[in-house]
Each structure stands twice: as structure tokens, then as C-alpha cells.
């Protein structure tokens, strides 16, 4: 029960990685504020906020569902206010909500560019800015960006998308440096391999043999959040990297196909400070 008494606000929590993190934290005593747009079932998109709340309750946890479109400042502030009203604090913010589109720059529609910027870096900025005063007041807080380290070699065919994601990483770096004296820290976390989510399935990004389950990111998130934010400084982590530091080097449990090891994502294939051999 490493997180007993703590409160985590998770965006994009209706399915996939966000839901997995919510359940994993709840198992260890954390109270959950699950935020997302989806509250009603969609035949084309599995998972709602109420499904996540139910899963949290099934493992003995407590959760609050808050419908929120993180692109809009007033909804973000209402989300944070609801969390504080219910639980009195916010210890962890997981900026997990995301939009994805990959294409050569010349083929990017303007509306797609605006969407990934709004849902990724702008939303992470809005959510982080809204929780910082809460965390500073309580003298404790950890903000996690679901965004990658800087790999310039990954830019082709993903340029604007990576701008939005690396923008999240840069915002995290700034938050960490600006709030070191307040008992706060910020981090970034990114998968080495593709994760099975609605995005990977609906966009045809490979198949089961090329994906891992969301639980690898939820386990990595728990290892990251278990560190004292007063003595933890910013780093853009890969999931395998932080799990290896925690002594977890067998990643076969996270395969979607038991006897097939997924290949690394092209946007994390080059990692100056980490190679898979280190695990």
C-alpha cells in the first residue's frame, strides 16, 4: 500500500493506459480522480469513465469520475476543483490524454495539427498549471507527462506529433526546475514498444505480436511515483529503464502474444542513455 492516503488525477482515464494506471494505483491505496470525455458507451470505442470507476472499486479503491475535455481551460479548472472538493488534495497528475497522427509534413491537415497540439502539449500545460498551486500548498506533488525523451532521429513522418509530445517533455522540465523548493517534481515516461490501446488498434499500428499490454506503463508509473518528489528531479524515462532500476528485467509478462517479443517503437529506437541490453 505504497500510495495509501494519496490522490491521483489521471486524464484520458476511460480506457487503455489511463485505466490501467488507475487500477494499479488503487490496488496500492491511492484514491483516483478519473478524467476523460467518454461517459457513455460507444460501440466503436470500448471503455468509459464509469467502467474505470467500477474497476477501481472492484479492487477496493475509491474513485471520482469527472467528464472533461482537456482542450478547454474552464473544464480543466472545474476538474481540479472537483478533485480538491472531494478528496482535499492532489498528489499526482498523470497527463495521459493524447491525440496521435503520423504523416509526412506535407500531408498534415491543419485540423490534425491543431488537434494534436491542443490535446497533447496545450492540455498538459493547462492541467499542470491548474494543479501546481494545490501541490505547492500541500508541499507535495509529482506531475508525469506521458511523453518521450528527445530522439531527433525519430522525426521523419512524425514531426508535428513529436513537436506536441516533446513540448510536454519541455513543460515537465520547466515545472520541475521551477518548483524544486516546494516538495514537487515532474517526470516524463514513454514506452519502448507500442502499447495495445484504442489508438494502436483503430489506426492499424501493427498487430498483437507488435504490442505490449498497458500494464507495463502502469507498473512503470507506480515505480516512478513511489519516489520522494522532494529528492527526485526531472528525467524523461523509458518504461523498461525505470522498471530495470526497480529490479524488473523480465518483460515477457507484458507481451500480447506470449511467445513473441515486440520490436521497439521507431520513435524510441535510438536512445542515447539507454539500450535494451542494460535490462
Could you give the residue numbers annotated as active site?
161
Residues in Cβ contact with 259 at an 8 Å cutoff, skipping those fewer than 6 apart: none
What does 78-129 look like in DSSP terms, one character per residue?
Answer: HHHHHHHHHHS---EEEE---------GGG--HHHHHHHIIIIIIHHHHHHH
Backbone φ/ψ region at 124: left (φ over 0), alpha (ψ -120 to 50), beta: alpha
In degrees and rounded to multiples of 5, residue 10 shows phi and psi of -120, 120
| Rounded Cα–Cα distance for residues 119 and 138 (Å) | 28
What is the rounded (10 degree) CA torsion for 65, 66, 70, 71? Answer: 140
Amino acid at each position: 500500500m505504497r500510495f495509501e492516503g494519496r490522490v491521483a488525477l489521471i486524464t484520458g482515464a476511460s480506457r487503455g493506459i489511463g485505466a490501467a494506471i488507475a487500477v494499479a494505483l488503487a490496488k496500492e491505496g491511492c484514491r483516483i480522480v478519473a478524467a476523460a470525455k467518454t461517459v457513455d458507451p460507444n460501440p466503436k470505442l470500448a471503455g468509459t469513465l464509469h467502467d474505470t470507476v467500477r474497476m477501481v472499486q472492484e479492487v477496493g479503491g475509491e474513485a471520482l469520475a469527472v467528464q472533461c475535455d482537456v482542450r478547454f481551460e474552464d473544464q480543466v479548472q472545474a476538474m481540479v476543483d472537483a478533485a480538491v472538493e472531494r478528496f482535499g488534495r492532489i498528489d499526482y497528475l498523470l497527463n495521459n490524454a493524447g491525440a496521435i497522427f503520423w504523416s509526412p509534413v506535407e500531408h498534415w491537415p491543419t485540423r490534425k495539427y491543431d488537434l494534436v497540439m491542443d490535446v497533447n502539449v496545450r492540455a498538459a500545460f493547462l492541467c499542470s498549471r491548474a494543479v501546481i498551486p494545490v501541490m505547492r500548498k500541500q508541499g507535495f506533488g509529482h506531475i508525469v507527462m506521458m511523453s518521450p525523451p528527445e530522439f531527433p532521429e525519430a522525426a521523419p513522418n512524425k514531426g508535428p506529433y513529436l513537436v506536441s509530445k516533446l513540448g510536454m517533455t519541455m513543460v515537465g522540465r520547466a515545472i520541475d526546475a521551477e518548483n524544486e523548493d516546494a516538495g514537487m517534481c515532474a517526470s516524463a515516461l514513454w514506452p519502448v514498444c507500442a502499447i495495445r490501446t484504442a489508438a494502436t488498434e483503430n489506426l492499424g499500428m501493427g498487430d498483437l505480436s507488435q504490442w505490449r499490454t498497458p500494464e507495463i506503463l502502469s507498473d512503470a508509473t507506480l515505480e516512478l511515483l513511489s519516489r520522494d518528489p522532494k529528492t527526485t528531479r526531472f528525467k524523461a524515462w523509458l518504461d523498461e529503464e525505470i522498471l530495470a532500476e526497480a529490479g524488473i528485467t523480465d518483460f515477457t509478462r507484458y507481451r500480447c502474444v506470449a511467445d513473441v517479443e515486440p520490436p521497439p517503437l521507431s520513435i524510441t529506437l535510438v536512445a542515447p542513455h539507454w539500450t535494451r541490453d542494460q535490462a
